[in-house]
Amino acid sequence: MQFFYTAKNAKVGDVIPFYNEKAKRFDNFYLKNWNPDCPKEEIVHGWHKLSTSDHMHFTEEPAGIYGGTGSIVEAYGLYHMFYCTFEQNPDKQYARHATSTDLTHWTDIPQEKFGSDGEIYLPVDWRDPHVIWNADEQKWWMLLAARENAPTERNGCVALCVSDDLHSWEYRKPLYAPRIHQAAHECPDFFRIGDWCYLVYSNYTDGFCTYYRMSRSPNGPWLRPEVDSFDGRAFYAAKTGFDGKRRFLYGWNPTRGENLWKIDPQTDIGNDYKTWNWGGAMEVHEIVQHADGTLGVKVLEEVDSMLCRRRNTVFEPVLGSWETTPSSCETQAPDGMNGILSEPLPALCKLAFDMTYRGAPTRLGVALQMDESFSKGYYFAFEPGFNRIQFRTGLRMEEEGGKMFPYAVEMERPLKLAADRKYSVTVVIQDSVVVLYVNNDLAFSARMYQYQNRRFGFFVSDGAAKFENVEFYTE
């Protein structure tokens, strides 16, 4: 059982979701990034199919397709796979087409390979084809990660091609070209919920994130919501899958430590302080729609129900005075920080609690993998003055941290915070992967490499807070 699927000797890259209606399961595919130290005899390049009925148990097999991200549709009695390839002479990318009768054996159609037109779109970026049926036009649409032929480097866009038969494609102007990013809008995705259309894409310039836009029409105009992302830096290249009732968002939480750019510290102080890799563990959120059409994400019901063995929580005040019960703790810290510790964290667990605060604390929240002095560990700090949650690692607590990070914030997620309002928090942990969910609406993913098998706790600085309905579960 894995909540965050990690391939043996490899990393999960971009996921291509596909719900197999006949088998009543997801037969997803993904790009597999093998670890540098993987034995050569184990390496099988290309797409790999990853099947699951519950997002916790998986079977995997090679797909025999060699290329980049794409999509799969079922039409005309066949499964149609669209993917991309990269050719260096000249430096150009191409959309490709293959078909199958069983989702296992694929027949490539090399004569249908096509690149950008060189007029509307530049030749260098033309990848991640995402094909959908547009019922309004009665045509197939292909969205691609591309760059518009424009006078500025901020020319990343979602390209659009249309087809009547999935075999020949007509170029159109970009579906979305906001002049924001200096790179292609990767892994584009499109879906509808009710009267709203949604466009999803990822980008690594001006941020490193999966974003979404919304519109009443598939042709736009595309509106940017106030919070236009589903998660933070440690969740990328996300695409959605739909089983007829629920829509899931599949992305990857990157591992760290391969030092591809040779900028990691010369002294080994742990993977928490190394650069991010491409690919890692697969994460799955469930999408929720609000009354105004905006989107959020929540923890999967399957994950929430599987961790059902409740463990006792015993609180031990470490900093300041606290009032405690078996399921709550409360404190006032008018002039500094108060902290309290509870149980050690096993490799697979879930922590849930409700949090309220009074006044205007500088920060409060949950600490994970903490030492006994409530110093080094990992902090999910809710900061009302900035309307955000910040993730902070242990190195921040000593001088080297200030030298290591030339910026004030390590990772953050926006969240409007208010006194006397209850925030329901769920934290799911599997090995080094951690995801924090707030109000079944916001996700914040991170990694915890440096410290393991240590305690969790709560803290508040310069204010008052109560943590109640504390529940701690393992499998």
Distance (Å, whole) CA 44 – CA 34: 9
Does residue 445 register a pLDDT over 80? yes
Per 3-state DSSP, the chain is made up of helix, strand and coil in percentages (nearest 5) of: 5, 55, 40
Share of the chain above pLDDT 90, in %: 88
Phi and psi, residue 86, nearest 5°? -125, 125
Instruction: Specify the pLDDT at position 345.
Output: 95
Least Cα distance to 4 among 386, 409, 283, 369 occurs for 283
Domain with CATH 2.115.10.20 in the chain: 10-305
- Determine which of 100-104, 215-219, 295-299, 400-404 has the lowest per-residue pLDDT on average: 400-404
User: 10-305 has which fold?
Assistant: Tachylectin-2; Chain A (2.115.10)
Q: Hey, what's the torsion of the CAs at 398, 399, 405, 410, to 10 degrees?
A: 20
What is the fold of 311-474?
Jelly Rolls (2.60.120)
Q: Model confidence over 213-266: pLDDT tens digits?
A: 999 999 999 999 999 999 999 999 999 999 999 999 999 999 998 998 898 888
pLDDT at 467 over 80: yes
In the prediction, which pLDDT does 87 show? Answer: 85
> How much is the pLDDT for 374?
95
For the chain, where do the domains classified as CATH 2.60.120.560 start and end?
Answer: 311-474
Contact 426, 445 (CB under 8 A): no
Residue 452: its pLDDT value, please? 94
The mean per-residue pLDDT over the stretch 305-323 comes to 90
User: What is the residue-averaged pLDDT of the chain?
Assistant: 95
Structure confidence at residue 88 as a pLDDT band (50, 70, 90): confident
Alpha carbon separation from 182 to 120, 155, 220, 274 (Å, rounded): 17, 6, 22, 25
pLDDT attached to residue 306: 82
